[in-house]
Amino acid sequence: MAGQVLRASSPEEAWSALLGCAAVVSSAPTWGALGLGAPAQWAGWLCALGCGSLSARAGLKALCWPPVLNTTLGLVSARPPGMLSLTGGYLMGYCADSGLPVRISNQSMMRHFLAAGMTGVGKTVSAISLMMQQISKGGGVLWVDGKLDPQNMETFFHMAKWLGRESDVRIINPADPRLSNTYNFVLHGEPEEVASRILSTLPATGLSAGADYYKQAANQGLISVLGALKLSRLAYNCMDLAILLTHPKALRELDHRVSAWTPLKDPRLAAFKLFLETCKTTPSNGASSLDAKKLKELFGGVAGRLFVFGSSQCGQVTQSYVPDIELFEDLKAGKLIYCALPTMGQQVSAQNFGKMVMGDLRTAIARLQARPQEERPEVPFLVWLDEVASYANAATLSTPFQQSRSAHMSLGVGFQEQSSIEELGPAFLGTLMGNTYNKLFFKPADRASAEAWSRTLGQKKTWHRSHQKGMGETFKFSLLGLHGANAFQQTRSAQESLKEALEYRVSADRLAQLGLGQAVFLHASSEIYDLHIPKIEFTQDLKAALGGVRIQRPADRTVSPTMEQTQGLYFEQRYREFLSELSRREETLAQSAHEARMAAPLKFQNLARLTPNAEGGEASEGAVAEGSAAEVRS
């Protein structure tokens, strides 16, 4: 049987259905209104067991086998955890065998979750169900969508709008700036953090000593430049950084600016100056100067990536000095953020963009957990990292996993095959498996995944009955002496024994038989549940009423809540100055001719406005027009 669908035509009713709230769902007509005619048994169970008001029919079924919902697992689910109220915690789904709802507490959720399974089996649907509950609680969400299904963005927006939280929605959509808030992921964090964020986009160096040396040198250089930028108190973006890392003129300018008011003994300035020295060459007949070739050797790869982030469509999203989205502030405020990674056609850029978001998230989580308790989100913030293997690894995820709980956040990760995680090293698999207290295993894509998950679900002791049959000869004695020819007698025996054995609680074969929206839920490393997960689906009418995605701008974002000052570096807008000599001269000539043409009439216009005409009023439009034309002709 396919998974069950809760079709919503009115918010209160369908939402109550998901929460199992007695007031609405216990009456049969309401279920009819929700379009739940077909899965009547399911509906009956949702209300009966979710609300604790067992109807006679449902009550009867609860006591006998076969299970309430279709299943091939043959598994007896554990007792649902905790003593939660009907709406407390998070509803994960319903046990196929008993029909009982499985809810986990906030505390449990803050120990993180994973959803693994082949494509199209319900990982995203299960996360959407959790996100919906989160939004209704007033909590914050960050959904990093590694797949960019346009439907997902719409679903996210509809959920928020439907639950009255449209104004909290923020969208990061580098493929379409018109449908995106602004987000600058190099702006916040200590120089070391931003440098490691940027370097995470470079391929792993593996065992190559040369590549490792290059990466270390680039890291040190980046830290010094970012340190100087912090001293300058100027905001910057990806393109500014790309220019700064490859153009001596830009570096000299930064040097002048920070040297003017920073004491030389400041360690950041000293590091920057030392770095500049290492990038200088001294010709035999002249003074030493910054060598563009050395800079390119050191930062070529890094600057190239920053250039991609800072140019074209993506650049329009990342260039802001006062971006709409500041992760740390938005996590604190419980905003609803959807981050669409660029299309699969640009897979490398998508992955790199995702890595930058992960780095920024890591910084935000670290800052949040260092804040006093009252500043952390009241409802734990929910992060859903879909297709996590394409943009995260052990290095980027292990610290967030460890810090999230104290920051009052929960992380969820989704992936398909076990091998996609193993490819990124054994540490990554360990990080995901070891840090998630709640695991949803859907139908696996391959045998290797099935066997690995079966092992994770654990083994149980069973007793095996064995029969032994034997035949033998006995030499009989009696008090009367030998029995002669009959002294030898044949005997038959049968022995039965019980032997203890270990077997998997859910075999790989059983996992492979899971259907759509069905999963084995492993909670707290020991309890397992044969789970059916409800799917939330908006009706066409409701979707039409909610409308398309609309970008919400923060009300008064002229000053960054995080930055002391929001004056920008603006290298990007002066890019002509950093072009090569020849093209620069041509550009400058063309530009100055154009500017002169434009400036003259403007100057005249302003002058004419200020000069009263003969009647004592302002100069007439006609006079201005005439004057402009004359000025232009001259």
Ligand X SMILES: Nc1ncnc2c1ncn2[C@@H]1O[C@H](COP(=O)(O)OP(=O)(O)OP(=O)(O)O)[C@@H](O)[C@H]1O
Enumerate binding residues for Mg ion (CB under 5 A): 123-124
Q: Are 117 and 387 in contact (CB under 8 A)?
A: no
- Output 105 or 420, the one with its CB closest to Mg ion: 420
- Output 42 or 401, the one with its CB closest to ligand X: 42
| 612: three-class secondary structure by DSSP | strand
- Output 155 or 552, the one with its CB closest to ligand X: 155
CB of 416 to Mg ion, least distance (A): 9
For residue 5, the partner it binds in ligand X, Mg ion, none, with Cβ less than 5 to 8 A by kind, is ligand X
CB of 147 to ligand X, least distance (A): 5
CB of 534 to ligand X, least distance (A): 6
DSSP letter (8 states) at residue 472: E
- Output 117 or 334, the one with its CB closest to Mg ion: 117
For residue 535, the partner it binds in Mg ion, ligand X, none, with Cβ less than 5 to 8 A by kind, is ligand X
For residue 334, the partner it binds in Mg ion, ligand X, none, with Cβ less than 5 to 8 A by kind, is none
CB of 468 to ligand X, least distance (A): 49
For residue 20, the partner it binds in ligand X, Mg ion, none, with Cβ less than 5 to 8 A by kind, is none
- Output 5 or 186, the one with its CB closest to ligand X: 5
- Output 117 or 140, the one with its CB closest to Mg ion: 117
CB of 260 to ligand X, least distance (A): 53
Selection from 244, 237, 245, 236 nearest residue 218 by Cα: 245
Q: What is the 3-state secondary structure (H, E, C) of 327-356?
A: HHHHHHHCCEEEEECCCHHHHHHHHHHHHH
CA distance 199 to 193: 10
- Reported residue count of the chain is 634
CB of 419 to ligand X, least distance (A): 14
105 half-sphere exposure, CB direction, 13 A CA radius: 8
- Output 25 or 128, the one with its CB closest to Mg ion: 128
- Output 151 or 466, the one with its CB closest to Mg ion: 151
- Per-residue tokens: 269: 């300035």
Q: Alpha helix locations (H) across 287-339? A: 292-310, 312-318, 327-333
For residue 416, the partner it binds in Mg ion, ligand X, none, with Cβ less than 5 to 8 A by kind, is ligand X
CB of 222 to ligand X, least distance (A): 35
- Per-residue tokens: 138: 């007033």
What lies within 8 Å, CB to CB, of 2 at 6+ separation is 515, 516, 517
- Output 5 or 49, the one with its CB closest to ligand X: 5
CA distance 442 to 289: 61
Q: How many CB atoms lie within 10 A of CB 471?
A: 8
Strands annotated E in 105-247: 113-116, 141-145, 169-172
CB of 414 to ligand X, least distance (A): 7
CB of 106 to Mg ion, least distance (A): 25
Q: What angle do CA 204, 208, 210 make, to 5 degrees?
A: 105
For residue 122, the partner it binds in ligand X, Mg ion, none, with Cβ less than 5 to 8 A by kind, is ligand X
* 66: preceding bond cis by omega (within 30 degrees): yes
CB of 128 to ligand X, least distance (A): 8
CB of 126 to ligand X, least distance (A): 7
- Output 8 or 125, the one with its CB closest to ligand X: 125
CA distance 625 to 230: 49
Selection from 528, 530, 532, 523 nearest residue 459 by Cα: 528
- Output 92 or 290, the one with its CB closest to Mg ion: 92
Q: Are 158 and 547 in contact (CB under 8 A)?
A: no
Selection from 588, 584, 581, 579 nearest residue 247 by Cα: 579
For residue 584, the partner it binds in ligand X, Mg ion, none, with Cβ less than 5 to 8 A by kind, is none
Q: How many CB atoms lie within 10 A of CB 466?
A: 9
For residue 258, the partner it binds in ligand X, Mg ion, none, with Cβ less than 5 to 8 A by kind, is none
CB of 120 to ligand X, least distance (A): 4
CB of 120 to Mg ion, least distance (A): 8
Radius of gyration for the chain, computed over Cα atoms and rounded to the nearest angstrom: 34
Q: Are 382 and 350 in contact (CB under 8 A)?
A: no
Question: Distance from CA of residue 511 to its chain's centroid?
Answer: 27
For residue 292, the partner it binds in ligand X, Mg ion, none, with Cβ less than 5 to 8 A by kind, is none
Q: Alpha helix locations (H) across 73-208? A: 106-109, 123-136, 150-162, 191-199
CA distance 540 to 35: 13
Question: Distance from CA of residue 194 to its chain's centroid?
Answer: 18
Q: Are 576 and 591 in contact (CB under 8 A)?
A: yes
Distance in Å from the first CA to the final CA of the chain: 83
For residue 109, the partner it binds in Mg ion, ligand X, none, with Cβ less than 5 to 8 A by kind, is none
- Output 194 or 385, the one with its CB closest to Mg ion: 385
- Output 258 or 385, the one with its CB closest to Mg ion: 385
Residue nearest to Mg ion (CB): 124
For residue 400, the partner it binds in ligand X, Mg ion, none, with Cβ less than 5 to 8 A by kind, is none
CA distance 32 to 54: 19
Residues in the site for ligand X, rule: CB under 6 A?
2-5, 117, 119-125, 147, 416, 516-517, 533, 535
